[in-house]
């Protein structure tokens, strides 16, 4: 990998951290397109791999990158007493099991289809960014085995297949299906993301162990060499995004970021159909 590519990944990690702190969304929406670009331009990045592996390696590496951020956030939320552990643990365990299955789904889908699915996910994320947050509502907590199993499985499947934290799926389900109070939703969603990303990362590592055509610095399908500068940049910059969020109105920034996601998602869909 070239020095320019490593520097770009570090700066990309800084952007991921700022966005996560500013908008409270997972970094996968930026990490995956950045890795797509790296693998699609081997002359610039110095990483030549078969096109059929681009999406799988990008999604696996993105999940690996999400783990430290999600764990760090979980610890912070736990100290603040905001994690609804009674709901979080059974849902998180179900998400971990589903994530292991989701990696196998990703490994069997064509790379072009994975990119179209990820583009669709970006469009859905943009829509959620533009929606106005509703007020606090009364909910009845529903923690039957069927509810927790279905919620965790949906989140884990989406997370591992697309290489994202799964908050787009988890948050609406936790509010409307599980009935969790709103002030605990973000914290509980992050616990689920930590479990799903960890299980998915290990599954990608084991499934790709000894596979041919992987880039240098990989453990299975996880490209650790590309992940480390992104992790370093994101852990450094998350507090910056939080401070900006506390001092400025983020409405205009949300619109601008949503437009960027629409452009990225639209391009992925149109170029891979």
pLDDT in tens, 79-103: 888 888 999 999 999 999 999 999 9
* Tokens 């990309």 belong to residue: 12
Virtual torsion, Cα 163, 45, 269, 108, nearest 10 deg: -50
Q: What is the DSSP string of 59-82?
A: HHHHHHHHHHHHHHHHHHHHHTT-
pLDDT mean values, one per 10 residues, the chain (273 residues)? 87 84 74 91 83 93 89 83 89 94 93 92 86 57 85 93 85 84 82 92 94 92 95 84 69 81 91 86
Our count of domains for the chain comes to 1
The C-alpha atoms of residue 128 and residue 108 are separated, in whole angstroms, by 29
Domain hosting residue 207, numbered range? 3-272
Of 153, 152, 114, nearest to 32 by C-alpha is 114
pLDDT tens digit sequence for 41-66: 888 777 888 888 999 999 999 999 98
φ and ψ of 218, to 5 deg = -105, 150
């Amino acid at each position: 990998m070239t020095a320019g590519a490593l520097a770009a990944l570090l700066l990309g990690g800084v952007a991921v951290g700022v966005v996560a702190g500013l908008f409270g969304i997972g970094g996968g929406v930026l990490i995956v397109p950045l890795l797509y670009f790296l693998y699609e331009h081997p002359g610039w990045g110095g990483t030549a791999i078969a096109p059929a592996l681009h999406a799988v390696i990008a999604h696996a590496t993105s999940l690996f990158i999400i783990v430290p951020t999600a764990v760090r956030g979980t610890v912070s939320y736990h100290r603040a007493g905001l994690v609804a552990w009674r709901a979080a643990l059974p849902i998180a365990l179900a998400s971990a099991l589903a994530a292991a299955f989701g990696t196998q789904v990703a490994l069997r889908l064509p790379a072009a289809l994975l990119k179209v699915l990820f583009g669709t996910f970006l469009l859905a994320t943009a829509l959620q960014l533009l929606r106005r947050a509703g007020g606090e509502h009364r909910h009845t907590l529903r923690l039957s085995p069927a509810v927790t199993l279905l919620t965790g499985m949906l989140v884990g499947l989406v997370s591992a297949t697309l290489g994202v934290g799964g908050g787009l799926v988890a948050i609406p389900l936790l509010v409307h299906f599980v009935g969790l109070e709103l002030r605990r939703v973000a914290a509980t969603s992050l616990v689920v993301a930590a479990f799903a990303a960890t299980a998915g990362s290990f599954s990608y590592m084991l499934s790709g162990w000894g596979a041919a055509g992987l880039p240098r610095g990989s453990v299975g399908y996880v490209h650790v060499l590309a992940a480390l500068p992104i992790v370093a940049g994101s852990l450094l910059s998350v507090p910056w995004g939080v401070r900006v969020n506390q001092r400025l109105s983020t409405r205009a920034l949300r619109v601008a970021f949503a437009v960027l996601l629409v452009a990225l998602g639209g391009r992925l869909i149109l170029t891979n159909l």
